[in-house]
C-alpha cells in the first residue's frame, strides 16, 4: 500500500521535523512569483523560520506563471512539502508550512491575489529570462513574448512586468498601499533593475502610474544563495522515509544558505533574520561577489564539464584538471573584487570549492548550462572587463567564454547533439548557420550577437585572441584535452 499523501501535519510519522508553529493560525502576507525548487529551498524556508520565531501573517501564496506541475504537487498537500538537506554530516529533513496555496497559469486569479490588501510583499524567483527586461537599456523588452502581449493588452497581463503594473494600478485606484517588490534572482542589483523595467513598462502602458510607482514602491535588492538541484525520484523516496507520506513536492538542497537583503520594506516584513537573512544598506558588493565567484565558476565548470562527459558538479570536482580550473577561476574572480568588509575572499572561495564537492548533491552541469546568454554577461563578461581594466590576465574568463561558444555548437566531441535551452537559441543557431568550424569565425559570429557582449570586449584584440586560442584547441583536440592543456598552463 502506498503511503498517504502529505496533506496534514498530523500525518507526518518519521524523523522529519515539523513547523514550530501552527500554519493555520497565520494569514498570508507574501505573494511569490515563480514557485520552483529554489523558492521552496530558500525564501519559503526563511519565512518558515520567521513564522516559528516571531509569528505574523506572513504565509505565502505561490504562483507558477505558466506550468501547473508545482500546483498539482503542492495543491493537494495544502502547501506542505519536505525540505531535505544533504551535507557532510548526513541528511536532515523538515516539513515546511509557510506556503498557504498555489495559483498556476491563471493570470486573472494572480492579479486578484496581488490586489489583496493582505499582500504586503511580492517576491520573485523567475530566472534571469523571466523578467523581460533588456539588460543593456534596462527597459521592458518588446522582443519578450509576455512583454509584447502585456503592452498590447495591459489590463489582461500574464508576464512579470505587466502583472506588477496592473496590480499596482489596481491598488492605487482602490487606495491600498503598494506592496514591496523583492527580486530573488541572480541578477546584479536585481531590485534596481526590476524597478527600471517596471517603470519603463508603466511609462509605455500606464503613463499616469509611473510617477506614483517611482514615489511609492520599494524595490530592495537581494543576494540569494543555496545550491538546489532539480528533485529526482530519489528525493521523493527520501521524503517518504522521512515523513511516512507521499510528497510530490519534496526538494533537496545543501545545508548552506545565504540571503542578504536591503532593508527597505515600508509595509513591514517577516523576521527573516530567524532564517539567517542579513539586512544591509547596500547589497551590490555581495551580489557582485556571488555572481562573479560562485555563479561565474559554476558556468565555466558547467560548459567545460558537460562537454567532457561530467554529468554532475561533484564529478567535475573529482576531475583533477577541471578542479584546478575551478580554483583558477575563483582566484581570478576574487582578484577583480573590491574588498568587502567582514569577508575574506580566499575563505569564500575555499568554501565554494567544498560546496561544489558535496558528494550528496547531484547538481547537473546541463542544468547550469541553461540560459547562457542570460547569465554570462554578469558572471563572465563584466569580470573579464574588470580584469582587463585592472591590467590583469583575462585568461580564466576567456576560457569560460570559449567553453560556452563550444557548447553553443550543440554537439559533443562524440557527435551527440543536445538542445542549448537558451531563450536566444534561435539567434545563436542563425548566427552560426553556414559558419565554418573555425575558432575565429565562430567567435566573430557570437561576439556579434546584438546586446550580448560588451562592446569593449568585442573590440579588445587581446581578449579575442585569448578566447579564440582556447576555442581552437577545444575544436581541434576535444574538450577533455583542452581542459588538461589549460590546467597545465
Nearest CB to ligand CS2, comparing residues 82 and 358: 358
Quote the crossing angle between the two packed helices 395-408 and 296-307, to the nearest 10°. 50
Binding part of the chain for ligand CS2, among 77-85, 103-111, 150-158, 222-230 by CB under 6 A, reads 222-230
Binding part of the chain for ligand CS2, among 223-231, 243-251, 413-421, 440-448 by CB under 6 A, reads 223-231
Distance separating alpha carbons of residues 13 and 332, to the nearest angstrom: 49
Written as nine digits, the cell of 173 is 485606484
Among 61, 295, 358, 443, binds ligand CS2 (CB under 6 A): 295
Of 360-379, binders to ligand CS2 (CB under 6 A) are 367-368, 375
Among 186, 242, 292, 358, binds ligand CS2 (CB under 6 A): 186
Nearest CB to ligand CS2, comparing residues 83 and 227: 227
Interaction between residue 225 and ligand CS2 (CB under 6 A): yes
Q: What does DSSP assign to residue 456?
A: H
For the chain, the distance separating the N- and C-terminal CA atoms, rounded to the nearest angstrom, is: 59
Among 227, 283, 396, 475, binds ligand CS2 (CB under 6 A): 227
Binding part of the chain for ligand CS2, among 24-32, 117-125, 150-158, 221-229 by CB under 6 A, reads 221-229
Q: How far is the CB of 254 from ligand CS2 (least distance, A)?
A: 9
Q: How far is the CB of 225 from ligand CS2 (least distance, A)?
A: 4
Nearest CB to ligand CS2, comparing residues 62 and 296: 296
Beta strand 222-225 with 258-262 is: antiparallel
Of 298-317, binders to ligand CS2 (CB under 6 A) are 298
Contact predicate 120/179, CB 8 Å? yes
The candidate with the shortest Cα–Cα distance to 278, out of 293, 294, 258, is: 258
Q: Which residue's beta carbon is nearest to the bound ligand CS2?
A: 298
The candidate with the shortest Cα–Cα distance to 487, out of 475, 470, 465, 462, is: 470
User: CA-based angle 18:24:27, to the nearest 5?
Assistant: 120
Q: How far is the CB of 184 from ligand CS2 (least distance, A)?
A: 10
Q: How far is the CB of 354 from ligand CS2 (least distance, A)?
A: 14
Q: Residue written as cell 582587463?
A: 388
The candidate with the shortest Cα–Cα distance to 330, out of 353, 354, 307, is: 353
Q: How far is the CB of 172 from ligand CS2 (least distance, A)?
A: 34
For 417, how many CA atoms within 13 A lie in the half-sphere containing its CB?
A: 1
Distance separating alpha carbons of residues 240 and 235, to the nearest angstrom: 9
Written as nine digits, the cell of 340 is 568587502
Among 39, 206, 226, 288, binds ligand CS2 (CB under 6 A): 226
Binding mask 430-469 for ligand CS2 (x = CB under 6 A): ----------------------------------------
Distance separating alpha carbons of residues 230 and 142, to the nearest angstrom: 31
Question: How many distinct helices (H) and strands (E) make up the chain?
Answer: 23, 13
Nearest CB to ligand CS2, comparing residues 54 and 367: 367
Contact positions vs ligand CS2 (CB under 6 A)? 186, 225-227, 295, 298, 367-368, 375
Amino acid at each position: 500500500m502506498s503511503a498517504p499523501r502529505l496533506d496534514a501535519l498530523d500525518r507526518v510519522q518519521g524523523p522529519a521535523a515539523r513547523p514550530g508553529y501552527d500554519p493555520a493560525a497565520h494569514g498570508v502576507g507574501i505573494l511569490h512569483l515563480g514557485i520552483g525548487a529554489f523558492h521552496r529551498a530558500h525564501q519559503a524556508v526563511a519565512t518558515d523560520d520567521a513564522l516559528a520565531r516571531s509569528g505574523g501573517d506572513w504565509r505565502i501564496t505561490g504562483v507558477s506563471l505558466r506550468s501547473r506541475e508545482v500546483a498539482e504537487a503542492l495543491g493537494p498537500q495544502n502547501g506542505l512539502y519536505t525540505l531535505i538537506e544533504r551535507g557532510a554530516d548526513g541528511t536532515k529533513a523538515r516539513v515546511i508550512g509557510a506556503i498557504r496555496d498555489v495559483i498556476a497559469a491563471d493570470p486573472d486569479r494572480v492579479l486578484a491575489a496581488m490586489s489583496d490588501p493582505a499582500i504586503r510583499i511580492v517576491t520573485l524567483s523567475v530566472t534571469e529570462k523571466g523578467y523581460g527586461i533588456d539588460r543593456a537599456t534596462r527597459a521592458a523588452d518588446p522582443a519578450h513574448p509576455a512583454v509584447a502581449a502585456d503592452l498590447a493588452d495591459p489590463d489582461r497581463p500574464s508576464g512579470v512586468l505587466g502583472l506588477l503594473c496592473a496590480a499596482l494600478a489596481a491598488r492605487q485606484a482602490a487606495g491600498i498601499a503598494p506592496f514591496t517588490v523583492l527580486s530573488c534572482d541572480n541578477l546584479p542589483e536585481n531590485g534596481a533593475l526590476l524597478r527600471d523595467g517596471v517603470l519603463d513598462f508603466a511609462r509605455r502602458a500606464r503613463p499616469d502610474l509611473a510617477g506614483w510607482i517611482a514615489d511609492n514602491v520599494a524595490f530592495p535588492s537581494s543576494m540569494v544563495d543555496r545550491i538546489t538541484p532539480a528533485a529526482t525520484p530519489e528525493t521523493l523516496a527520501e521524503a517518504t522515509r522521512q515523513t511516512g507520506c507521499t510528497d510530490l513536492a519534496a526538494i533537496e538542497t545543501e545545508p548552506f544558505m545565504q540571503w542578504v537583503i536591503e532593508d527597505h520594506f515600508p509595509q513591514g516584513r517577516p523576521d527573516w533574520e530567524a532564517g539567517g537573512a542579513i539586512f544591509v544598506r547596500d547589497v551590490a558588493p555581495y551580489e557582485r561577489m556571488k555572481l562573479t565567484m560562485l555563479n561565474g565558476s559554476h558556468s565555466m565548470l558547467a560548459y567545460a564539464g558537460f562537454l567532457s562527459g561530467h554529468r554532475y558538479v561533484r564529478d567535475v570536482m573529482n576531475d583533477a584538471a577541471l578542479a584546478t580550473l575551478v580554483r583558477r577561476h575563483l582566484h581570478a574572480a576574487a582578484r577583480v573584487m573590491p574588498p568587502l568588509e567582514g569577508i575574506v575572499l580566499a575563505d569564500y572561495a575555499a568554501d565554494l570549492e567544498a560546496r561544489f564537492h558535496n558528494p550528496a548533491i547531484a547538481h547537473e552541469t546541463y542544468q547550469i548550462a541553461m540560459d547562457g546568454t542570460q547569465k554570462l554577461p554578469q558572471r563572465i563578461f563584466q569580470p573579464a572587463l574588470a580584469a582587463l581594466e585592472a591590467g590583469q590576465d583575462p585568461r580564466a574568463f576567456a576560457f569560460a567564454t570559449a567553453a560556452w561558444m563550444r557548447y553553443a555548437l550543440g554537439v559533443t566531441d562524440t557527435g551527440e547533439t543536445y538542445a542549448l535551452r537558451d531563450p536566444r537559441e534561435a539567434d545563436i543557431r542563425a548566427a552560426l548557420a553556414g559558419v565554418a568550424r573555425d575558432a575565429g569565425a565562430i567567435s566573430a559570429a557570437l561576439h556579434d550577437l546584438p546586446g550580448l557582449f560588451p562592446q569593449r570586449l568585442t573590440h579588445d584584440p587581446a581578449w579575442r585572441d585569448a578566447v579564440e586560442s582556447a576555442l581552437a584547441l577545444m575544436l581541434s583536440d576535444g574538450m577533455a584535452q583542452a581542459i588538461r592543456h589549460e590546467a597545465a598552463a
